């Protein structure tokens, strides 16, 4: 495996690298920003790529926001972006449920472990759901809940899917209810299974960690519809119709973003060192996932 090219400060190398691609798939958390903190010169870099006629797609595993929510965040951050350029894991999961799984109504209802981003995208696709941000589930489990869940009186007979995303309001009642749906044959899906979430220039438990307890109890991992899933890559390509050989994935995480690009046989991958993965992760001898090139921060693409 060849060593990745370090492009920070390499003007000629940057020119040559950017000229290889017409399309850039951008990860968001850890590449553009950490929470609400925009990294240096990100807006200028996006502007530069657009001025060179590059097509940009923002492909995020963060399921807490819908595409519409992300459009508002891009506007707030001063990054010009069209809502159709955003492709998040909530949208990926909603499209998969509505267009691929297509469970016959009324047994197509989704039990959601996650935030409003998932609910909004399921609504757009006309997929019914329960739980999510419903305050009725944001309470301690009571002794009578065990009986009501076990005998099914507290369960909705139309739930056919459990969808696990990044849930900032985890509790035992939701996990126990989801578990019982799975025991009754519901399909187990996840928006993504990232172990950590880059926030406030640090790391916090991610969607994969949020759903790990349920997976352990059930004894099976969910089908993830976020990066590196190629169902997501196929859906992104199906929507944007790009030439994979002229497309580059830009990300901060080896086992989601860079693996997504490599498995998707994209023309290239660029790692950015402002998020989860460190350069030691991919420079080490025998590293599992190695990007084509890397920079310290996205703004370094300005040369
Ligand atoms: O835990 C998560 O959901 C992820 O860490 C997070 O949201 C990743 O977002 P991305 O880096 O794909 O924009
Ligand atoms: Mg990221």
Handedness of CA 231, 251, 276, 39 (dihedral sign): negative
Q: Annotated binding residues, as ranges?
A: 27, 29, 227, 252
170-189 pLDDT tens trace: 999 999 999 999 999 999 99
Strand 268-272 with 247-251, pairing: parallel
Mean pLDDT for 86-102 is 97
Ligand found nearest the CA of 118: 1
**Each residue's pLDDT tens digit, 51-78:** 999 999 999 999 999 999 999 999 999 9
Are residues 214 and 113 part of one domain? yes
199 and 164 in one domain?
Answer: yes
Q: What is the pTM of this model?
A: 0.96
- Please indicate whether residue 27 is annotated as part of the active site: yes
H or E stretch covering 297:
none
Dump pLDDT digits (tens) for 208-265.
999 999 999 999 999 999 999 999 999 999 999 999 999 999 999 999 999 999 999 9
Do residues 13 and 110 share a domain? no
Banded model confidence at residue 1, pLDDT cuts 50, 70, 90: low
Q: Which of 224, 253, 272 is the C-terminal boundary of a domain?
A: 224
Angle at 244 between CA 164 and CA 227, to 5 degrees: 15
Question: What's the pLDDT score for residue 10?
Answer: 98
Binding residues for substrate: 227
Q: Is residue 53 part of a domain?
A: yes
Among the atoms of ligand 1, which is closest to the Cα of residue 165? 3
* Owning domain of residue 269: 5-61+228-302
Q: Are residues 204 and 237 both part of a single domain? A: no
- On whether residue 220 sits in a domain, the answer given is yes
> Which among 195, 136, 127, 137 is positioned nearest to 161, based on CA atoms?
127
- Residue 211 and residue 121 share a domain: yes
ipTM over 0.95: yes
Looking at all shown ligands, the one closest to residue 277's CA atom is 2
Q: Give the per-residue pLDDT at 2.
A: 75
3-state DSSP call for residue 65?
Answer: coil
For residues 154 and 48, membership in a common domain is answered with no
Residues 147 and 213 in one domain: yes
| Average predicted confidence (pLDDT) for the chain | 97
206 and 236 both lie in a single domain? no
User: How many domains does the structure of the chain reveal?
Assistant: 2
Contact 222, 164 (CB under 8 A): yes
Same structural domain, 270 and 254? yes
Of 180, 197, 224, the last residue of a domain is 224
Kindly state whether residue 124 falls inside one of the protein's structural domains. yes
Domain annotation covers residue 295: yes
Domain containing 290 — which CATH number? Answer: 3.40.50.1000
How confident is the model over 157-163, as a mean pLDDT?
98
Q: Tell me whether residue 200 is in a domain.
A: yes
List the strands of the sheet with 187-190, edge to edge. Answer: 129-131, 109-113, 159-164, 187-190, 223-224
Give residues (CB < 6 A) around ligand 1.
27-30, 60-62, 166, 192, 194, 196-197, 206-207
Q: Percent of the chain at pLDDT above 70? A: 100
Q: What is the dihedral of CA 43, 27, 83, 20, to 10 degrees?
A: 70
Q: How confident is the model at residue 149 (pLDDT cuts 50, 70, 90)?
A: very high
Whether residue 92 lies inside any domain: the answer is no
State which of 167, 194, 224 marks the end of a domain: 224
- Work out which ligand 1 atom sits closest to the CA atom of 209: 1
- What pLDDT score does 96 carry? 97
Q: Does 97 reside within a domain?
A: no
Helix (H) or strand (E) holding 1: none
Ligand 1 atom closest to Cα of residue 207: 1
Concerning whether 75 is annotated as a catalytic residue, the answer is no
- Please give the sequence-ordered ranges of beta strands (E in DSSP) within the chain, or none if there are none: 5-6, 23-26, 33-34, 37-38, 55-60, 86-88, 109-113, 129-131, 159-164, 187-190, 196-199, 202-205, 223-224, 247-251, 268-272, 293-295
Distance separating alpha carbons of residues 90 and 120, to the nearest angstrom: 9
- Does one domain contain both 33 and 51? yes
Report the residue among 35, 197, 276 best suited for mutation to probe ligand 1: largest number of ligand atoms under 8 A from its CB: 197
* Centre of ligand 2 from the C-alpha of residue 193, in Å: 12
Do residue 235 and residue 173 come from a single domain? no
124 with 39, same domain: the answer is no
Neighbour count for residue 238 (Cβ, 10 Å): 10
Domain membership of residue 48 (yes or no) is yes
């Amino acid at each position: 495996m060849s060593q990745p090219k370090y492009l920070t400060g390499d003007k000629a190398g940057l020119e040559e690298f950017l000229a290889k691609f017409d399309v850039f798939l951008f990860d968001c958390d850890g590449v553009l920003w950490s929470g609400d903190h925009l990294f240096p010169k990100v807006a200028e870099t996006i502007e530069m790529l657009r001025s060179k006629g590059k097509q940009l797609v923002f492909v995020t595993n963060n399921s807490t926001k819908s595409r519409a929510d992300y459009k508002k965040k891009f506007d707030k951050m001063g990054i010009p972006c069209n809502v159709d350029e955003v492709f998040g894991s909530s949208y990926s999961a909603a499209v998969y449920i509505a267009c691929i799984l297509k469970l016959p109504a009324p047994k197509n209802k989704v039990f959601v472990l996650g935030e409003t981003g998932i609910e909004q995208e399921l609504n757009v696709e006309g997929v019914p759901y329960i739980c999510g941000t419903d305050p009725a589930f944001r309470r301690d489990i009571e002794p009578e809940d065990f009986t009501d869940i076990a005998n099914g009186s507290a369960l909705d007979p139309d739930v056919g899917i459990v969808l696990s995303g990044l849930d900032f309001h985890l509790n035992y009642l939701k996990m126990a209810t989801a578990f019982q749906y799975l025991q009754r044959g519901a399909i187990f899906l996840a928006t993504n299974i990232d172990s950590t979430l880059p926030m406030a220039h640090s790391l916090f438990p991610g969607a994969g960690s949020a759903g790990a307890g349920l997976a352990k109890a059930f004894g099976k991992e969910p089908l993830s519809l976020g990066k590196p899933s190629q169902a997501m890559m196929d859906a992104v390509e199906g929507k944007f119709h790009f030439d994979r050989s002229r497309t580059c994935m830009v990300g901060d995480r080896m086992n989601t973003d860079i693996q997504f690009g490599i498995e998707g046989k994209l023309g290239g991958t660029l790692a950015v060192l402002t998020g989860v993965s460190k350069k030691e992760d991919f420079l080490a001898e025998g590293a599992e996932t190695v990007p084509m090139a890397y920079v310290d921060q996205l703004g370094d693409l300005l040369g």
